[in-house]
Chains A and B, each alone.
Chain A
Amino acid sequence: MGHRKRLSIIGVAAAVSLLVGIAVPQAQAAVGYPKKPVGTELNLYNWSNYIDPALLKRFTAETGINVNLGVYESNAQMLAKLEAGARGYDIIVPTDYMVQIMAKKGLLQRIKRTTFPNGANLKAEFANPYFDQGRSYTIPYLHGLTGFGYLKDKVTTNPTTWKEFFAAIPSYPGKTTIFDDKKEVIDAALRSMGYKPCTKSVVQLQAVQDLIKSIKPNLNTIASSGNIGRLSSGTSVLLMMYNGATYKAKLANPNVVFVYPKDGLPLWQDNFAIPVGAKNVDNAKIFLNWMMDPKNIAQASNWAGYNNGITGSDKYLLDAMQADTAFTPTAAQMSLGVAMAPCSTAVNDLYTKVWTAFKG
């Protein structure tokens, strides 16, 4: 073959492949909702013990997608893992303030929720949260409040505030637990003294540090998970608890009581989001859509004990659960809840100082 002819063939081939190379990825990036699953895997990175295994099995049966579950214990841990290079999670479950942080850092993918078949099933009050206006990054999973729980046959003083919670701890040495979550603990301690979360005041934070250090010897463990079992079995009689977890503990032990502390408590919302670098984006969208089906999200609620943000799910929720105040706060109790918001970096560093001094 002639030299020039060979060159021109190579040239044409290169041009064609360049065009194809540009064109093909665009064709692969599914805009909007996928028609069917791509591959059979979905990597879900969720809080420990936070989704019904039977629900995931049903998802697999109905869609043919296998769910690989990884777990974490706090938002900070989840963020740390992602930033350390763990790319490939398809769905994560960040709490409200963490969504705002991650969106700002460009770690979340935009989802075209309006193209989802179930995309409009949002309860009105969950459609436009401060951390994700218009819900372009997330859909709501479950929401709840962080208060405390106790066994009423063991703790007879009936504490109703964070102040009383911390004051009662020394009376039950070795039988009390608080979360391994610096934001939750420090905020609770601030509230117990009448201060507000995200305070800049070093005087207030010093008081918090002194308080939590003073109760530390009376704690058995510092943990955010495993508390359902601890409370229901009586290993701990007074603990920081999420409301839904307390409901589950109550099912095992009727002496369990959940308290909405009168000095204020955080109202948090957990959400599903697709992080940048997800491997199975289409399957993730299918999962998000599936979780917006009222029947499915209701199963999640029934198992975990928390309410959700999807319309139409109420009729599938267990009656006994809905009647329990741990699940459904009264209006008065609900008014005590304050939505969590992220603190500034400077305040966060102060929190870290307090927490390290406490844990050390």
Chain B
Amino acid sequence: MGVSSLIFLYLPLLTVLIFAFNKSEDATTWGGFSTRWFSTILDNTDLIRSAKVSLSIAIPCALIAAMIAAGLAIGMGRATGSVQNVLRALVNAPLVLPEIVTSVGTLAFFSQVGIPLRYGSLLFAHVVMCVPFAFLPIRSRLRDFDENIFEAARDLGASSFRVMTKISIPLLIPALLSSGLLSFIISMDDFLTSLFVSGPETTTLPIYIFGLLKLGASPEVNVIAALLLIIPTLGLLVGITWTATRRRSNEARHQ
């Protein structure tokens, strides 16, 4: 059963990958092997511009969301006050609420307050969406730590600030990297929120691609879809092998 689920998961991905090399102009029927369509996408200025827009949102979003999430984890400590619980629930809400609700809500809020749909508004809509995701790796890493270190530091008279800068943040760096990466991917991939909150200069890559998909299957879309597959997969494989080698060297060092 497990193997068949994996096949189910990968068959469509392989299809997209293979069809990117489809020579035929009819995107859905196989006509032989060719790489001709790969060069056409480089000429597609709209595609490239939307990719740039997406990157220009995703990179700052990753940084900001990671910082905000780290701030939340560090600052809230072990607090359990009810106001803080409500606020924390709000911060984490985008994780559990359907995106259609949060995106129309954001649109309604912006329009009510008079915030135009520009780069800044889209960036913050993304940040809000990414913070709960960024929070997860940080929280779990903080929990893994021996409380006694922090206790000891406080007993020795360190201020909260010193504890944060000398202990918490350095320990969190690997988690921060995960948070940043997670936020980056969530932001790059986001479609629904961007659709509602985007304005004239913020046509993101998914929005552009959705427009193409509505026109139906085409060889160009085959290539674009394949790239959307290859790039994150390669990135992930790199990440996984990197963490695996680090783990192995850590294990070796501790022997």
Q: Please report A residues at the B interface, Cβ cutoff 8 Å.
A: 41, 43, 45, 48-49, 53, 57, 68-71, 73, 84-90, 223, 225-226, 229-230, 233, 235, 277, 279
* A residues less than 8 Å from B114 (CB atoms): 85
Distance, CA A86 to CA B199, complexed state (A): 5
Contact with A along B121-140 (1 / 0, CB 8 A): 00000000000000000000
Q: Is B102 an interface residue (CB 8 A)?
A: no
Q: Are B216 and A86 touching (Cβ within 8 A)? A: no
Q: Please report B residues at the A interface, Cβ cutoff 8 Å.
A: 26, 45-46, 49, 107, 110-111, 114-118, 196, 198-201, 203, 211, 214-216, 218
Distance, CA A277 to CA B216, complexed state (A): 34
* B residues less than 8 Å from A49 (CB atoms): 215
Distance, CA A239 to CA B244, complexed state (A): 55
**How far apart are B100's CB and chain A's nearest CB, in angstroms?**
15
Number of interchain pairs (Cβ within 8 Å) = 63
Q: Which of B49, B200, B211, B214 contacts A45 (CB 8 A)?
A: B200
Distance, CA A22 to CA B200, complexed state (A): 29
Distance, CA A235 to CA B111, complexed state (A): 41
* A residues less than 8 Å from B26 (CB atoms): 233
Residue of B nearest to A90 (CB): B200
**How far apart are A232's CB and chain B's nearest CB, in angstroms?**
10
Known contacts A45-B200, A85-B116, A88-B199; A225 and B214 CB within 8 A of each other: yes
Given contacts A85-B114, A87-B200, 7 further A-B contacts (CB under 8 A): A53-B46, A71-B211, A73-B214, A84-B107, A85-B199, A86-B199, A88-B199
**How far apart are B57's CB and chain A's nearest CB, in angstroms?**
15
Known contacts A43-B201, A68-B201, A233-B26; A86 and B116 CB within 8 A of each other: yes
* A residues less than 8 Å from B215 (CB atoms): 48-49, 225-226, 229
Residue of A nearest to B111 (CB): A85
Q: What 10 A-B pairs come out closest when comparing CB atoms?
A: A43-B200, A88-B200, A226-B215, A86-B199, A226-B216, A86-B117, A89-B200, A85-B111, A87-B116, A229-B216
Q: Are A279 and B117 touching (Cβ within 8 A)? A: no
Q: Which of B196, B203, B216 contacts A68 (CB 8 A)?
A: B203
* A residues less than 8 Å from B116 (CB atoms): 85-88, 277
* B residues less than 8 Å from A279 (CB atoms): 200
**How far apart are B169's CB and chain A's nearest CB, in angstroms?**
38
Distance, CA A85 to CA B114, complexed state (A): 8
Q: Are B211 and A229 touching (Cβ within 8 A)? A: no
What are 10 residue pairs bridging A and B, where the CB atoms are less than 8 Å apart in the complex?
A: A43-B200, A53-B45, A57-B45, A68-B49, A68-B201, A69-B46, A85-B117, A85-B199, A229-B215, A229-B218
Distance, CA A229 to CA B25, complexed state (A): 11
Distance, CA A277 to CA B211, complexed state (A): 25
* A residues less than 8 Å from B203 (CB atoms): 68-70
Residue of A nearest to B118 (CB): A88
Distance, CA A230 to CA B218, complexed state (A): 11
Distance, CA A90 to CA B46, complexed state (A): 17
